[in-house]
Amino acid sequence: MKTDASTPPPRACADCRLRQLPCFLPVTLDELGFIQSCRQTVQAVAAGRAIIAEHHVSPRLYTLYAGWAFRYKTLADGRRQILNFLLPGDFIGLQGEFTDDATHGVEALTDTQLCVFGHDRLWDIFSQQPRLGYNVTWLCAREEQLVDDNLVTVGRRAAAERIAMLLIHLWRRAERLGHVDAQGAVDFPLTQQHIADALGLSLVHTNKTLRKLERIGLHEIKAGRLRLLELKALERMADYHARPMRQVPLI
């Protein structure tokens, strides 16, 4: 039902468990071989450790194979903003390709497994496999959408609306990946501090608002798993509009 973050990606991309999920675009055998030739190595990063350190340029690109991570930025005095969460299949490190100073950090939220690509292969992707280049752009545009959405949430929604939004959003992303169990629950590894940092709220107010939503029976977070008990009510509260699910690329 879920991808085990302790199992590294298989040696052959053809055996990749992610690729077997219906939410990812199929690739040709040729493209698959090319992707595998780009894959430098495999790497495990433990929960709480940096995948890309803030203010450091990473010479690598990654595909998140298993586990959750997040992109973030911090101000000089320590205030932190989480930009978006990364789930299996997400591509990491593209921003570093086009700027001299690394702009944000990436941290593992759970234990993670990563497929590692040398950044010098990025140009090879575009020049040798145009369709994969197109897909890289696709992934980039898709990540920008996530940030767009989060910006609207942080800029214009009240605390309860923000939390409703985040819960629905993450639940849906986990659902796509087949992580929903028979009880309608998904793994939910965020602490309330993560939620606060993603939503532009304080920890205390995040806790009070979460408890309020839970008390009126909209959702339940128990033992690191999230269930949405009143999806419609949450969607109404957040002004959430489901997007049609569409296959996305996987590099």
Catalog residues that contact a copy of itself under the rule CB under 8 A. 71, 73, 75-77, 79-81, 83, 94-95, 97-101, 103-104, 122-123, 126-127, 130-131, 133-134, 136-138, 140-145, 147-152, 154-157, 199-200, 239, 243-244, 246
CA dist list (Å): 21 to 16, 24, 88, 242, 249? 10, 6, 11, 20, 12
Place of tokens 């909209």: 218
One residue of 191, 217, 236, 247 binding DNA per CB under 7 A: 191
> Residue 43 is inside which H or E element, if any?
strand 39-45
One residue of 11, 49, 131, 211 binding DNA per CB under 7 A: 211
CB nearer DNA, residue 223 or residue 242: 223
Binding mask 96-115 for DNA (x = CB under 7 A): --------------------
232 binds, among DNA, a copy of itself, none (CB under 5 to 8 A by kind): none
Chain-centroid distance of CA 71 in Å reads: 9
> Residue 197 is inside which H or E element, if any?
helix 192-199
Beta bridge partner(s), residue 42: 115
One residue of 21, 102, 116, 160 binding DNA per CB under 7 A: 160
CB nearer DNA, residue 33 or residue 200: 200
Query: Sign of torsion, CA 16 20 24 26?
Result: positive
Question: In terms of Cα–Cα distance, which of 124, 140, 58, 69 is closest to 96?
Answer: 58
CA distance 168 to 140: 22
> Is residue 49 a contact residue for DNA (CB under 7 A)?
no
| DSSP 8-class letter at 48 | T
98 binds, among DNA, a copy of itself, none (CB under 5 to 8 A by kind): a copy of itself
CA distance 195 to 203: 8
> Is residue 236 a contact residue for DNA (CB under 7 A)?
no
CB nearer a copy of itself, residue 83 or residue 186: 83
> Residue 68 is inside which H or E element, if any?
none
29 binds, among DNA, a copy of itself, none (CB under 5 to 8 A by kind): none
Angle (CA) 194 66 187, round 5° = 50
Minimum Å distance from CB 13 to DNA?
A: 33
95 binds, among a copy of itself, DNA, none (CB under 5 to 8 A by kind): a copy of itself
One residue of 81, 95, 103, 193 binding DNA per CB under 7 A: 193
By the criterion CB under 7 A, which residues form the site for DNA? Answer: 158-160, 191-193, 200-211
